[in-house]
Amino acid sequence: MAATHHYRAHLSWSGSTGGGYHGYRRAHRLTVAGTTLTASADPAYLGDGALPNPENLLLAAASSCQMLAFLALAARAGLDVRDYTDDAEAEMPATRDRMRITRIVLRPNITLAPGADRARVAELVEQAHEECFIANTLDTEIVLDPSVTVPDS
């Protein structure tokens, strides 16, 4: 029988909504795996733009999951990855219908060890996407736009 993985998070907020929609603080505390951070709503919804919001965190989860899946596949394939960055973006059009993130673009910039097999990277990036738990959970378009650097020896 396959194992079921469980995840937990704790959220806390206190204040008052008695002053109406414009009068309450959106800042709240999230604790995950012993790490606590302060988050808020998107500034469009009167949140603090200096704090992460749920939309940022969803994008970060998709980016992180893609990287972790890729690195695991690369390591198993004997591909020596030396650096991985991603300038990811998400789009959430404002509509009168059900609002949702409709598109995520992941832009992994992958640096390999000198002499590494550049051709194998595209295949592993795609395979990582197929194996990424977060991507498999989301009902949104995810675009992969990787770039690969292999320095000369």
CATH number of the domain residue 114 falls in: 3.30.300.20
**Same domain as 33, residue 104:** no
**Same domain as 68, residue 130:** yes
CA 92 to chain centre: 15
**Same domain as 123, residue 61:** yes
Closest CA to 56 of 39, 33, 68, 32: 39
Q: How far is CA 67 from CA 17, 62, 128, 135, in A?
A: 40, 9, 8, 12
Closest CA to 67 of 39, 37, 88: 88
Q: How far apart are the first and last CA of the chain?
A: 48
Q: Last residue of a domain, which of 36, 52, 68?
A: 52
Model confidence band, residue 35 (pLDDT cutoffs 50, 70, 90): very high
Is 90 exceeded by the pLDDT of residue 66?
yes
Entry field: residues in the chain:
153
Provide the residue range defining the domain that includes 6: 1-52
**Same domain as 113, residue 91:** yes
Is 80 exceeded by the pLDDT of residue 58?
yes
**Same domain as 143, residue 70:** yes
**Same domain as 143, residue 74:** yes
Mean pLDDT of the chain: 95
**Same domain as 62, residue 6:** no
Q: Residue by residue, what is the 3-state secondary structure of the chain?
A: CCCCCCCCCEEECCCCCCCCHHHCCCCEEEEECCEEEEECCCHHHCCCCCCCCHHHHHHHHHHHHHHHHHHHHHHHHCCCEEEEEECCEEECCCCCCCCCCCEEEECEEEEECCCCCHHHHHHHHHHHHHHCHHHHHCCCEEEECCEEECCCC
Which tokens go with 140? 């949104």
Q: How many domains does the chain have?
A: 2
pTM: 0.92
**Same domain as 139, residue 88:** yes
Query: Region 24-48: what's the mean pLDDT?
Result: 96
| Backbone dihedral region for residue 47 (phi beyond 0: left; psi -120 to 50: alpha; all else: beta) | beta
